[in-house]
Amino acid sequence: MKGICASPGLAAAKPFLVKEQELRIRRSRVPKDAIEAEKKKFYSAVERLRQKMNDFLSDPERELSEDERKIMGVHVSLLDDPSLIDETVSIIENERFNCAYALSQNVDAIALELGEVDDEYIRERIMDIKDVSTSLLKRILDVEPADLTRLEEDVILIARDLEPSQLISADKRFLRGIVCEQGGVTSHTAILARNLGVPAVFGVRDAMKSCRNVSMLVVNGTMGTVDCNPEPEELDKVRRRIESLRELRQDLGRYATVEGRSLDGRRMEVCANIGSAKDAAQAVKNGAEGAGLFRTEFMFMQEDVPPSEEIQFETYKAAAEALGTRPLIIRTLDAGGDKEIEYLHLNKENNPFLGYRAIRICLKNKDLFKTQLRAILRASAYGNIRIMYPMISSIEELHAANRVLKRAKAELRREGVPFDREIKVGIMVEIPTTAVCADIFAREVDFFSIGTNDLIQYTLAVDRTNQTVSALYDEYNPGVLRLIYHTIQSGAREGKPVGMCGEMGGNLLLTPLLLGMGIDEVSVSPVAVPKVKKMLSAIDSSTAQRMLHRAMCCDTGSEMKAFLTEELTKMKLDHLLLL
At 111-133, the pLDDT tens digits run: 877 765 555 556 667 778 888 89
In a domain, 29, yes or no: no
The verdict on 193 and 222 lying in the same domain is: yes
In the set 5, 75, 188, 271, the catalytic residue is: 188
The verdict on 135 and 151 lying in the same domain is: no
Q: What mean pLDDT is reported for the chain?
A: 88
The verdict on 133 and 161 lying in the same domain is: no
d(CA 281, CA 396): 37
In a domain, 473, yes or no: yes
d(CA 151, CA 231): 26
The verdict on 218 and 256 lying in the same domain is: no
Task: Examine the fold and report which residue of 167, 198, 230 is the final residue of a domain before the chain moves on.
Answer: 230
At 295-310, the pLDDT tens digits run: 988 788 767 788 999 9
Does the annotation mark 553 as catalytic?
Answer: no
The verdict on 72 and 179 lying in the same domain is: no
Angle, CA of 549, 555 and 558, to the nearest 5° = 100
At 84-105, the pLDDT tens digits run: 999 999 999 999 999 999 999 9
d(CA 124, CA 131): 10
The verdict on 284 and 197 lying in the same domain is: no
At 206-232, the pLDDT tens digits run: 999 999 899 999 999 988 999 999 999
Predicted TM-score (pTM) of this structure:
0.76
Task: Examine the fold and report which residue of 124, 141, 158 is the final residue of a domain before the chain moves on.
Answer: 141
Strand partners of residue 448:
427, 498
In a domain, 479, yes or no: yes
Domain residues for the domain of 165 are 4-19+147-230
In a domain, 186, yes or no: yes
The verdict on 429 and 449 lying in the same domain is: yes
d(CA 123, CA 541): 40
The verdict on 169 and 127 lying in the same domain is: no
Give the count of domains, the chain: 3
Q: At what angle do helices 188-196 and 66-78 cross, to 10 degrees?
A: 160
H or E stretch at 326: none
The verdict on 183 and 261 lying in the same domain is: no
CATH at 79? 1.10.274.10
In a domain, 241, yes or no: no
Residue 2, SS3 per DSSP: strand
CATH at 10? 3.50.30.10
Residue 266, SS3 per DSSP: coil
At 534-554, the pLDDT tens digits run: 999 999 999 999 999 999 999
Does the annotation mark 75 as catalytic?
Answer: no
CATH at 264? 3.20.20.60
Flag the least confident range among 7-11, 316-320, 333-337, 405-409: 333-337
d(CA 397, CA 376): 20
In a domain, 237, yes or no: no
In the set 5, 271, 501, 554, the catalytic residue is: 501
Render the burial of 389-405: b for 16+ CB within 10 Å, e for the rest.
bbbbbeeebbebbeebb
The verdict on 84 and 134 lying in the same domain is: yes
In a domain, 24, yes or no: no
The verdict on 114 and 219 lying in the same domain is: no
In a domain, 244, yes or no: no
The verdict on 417 and 553 lying in the same domain is: yes
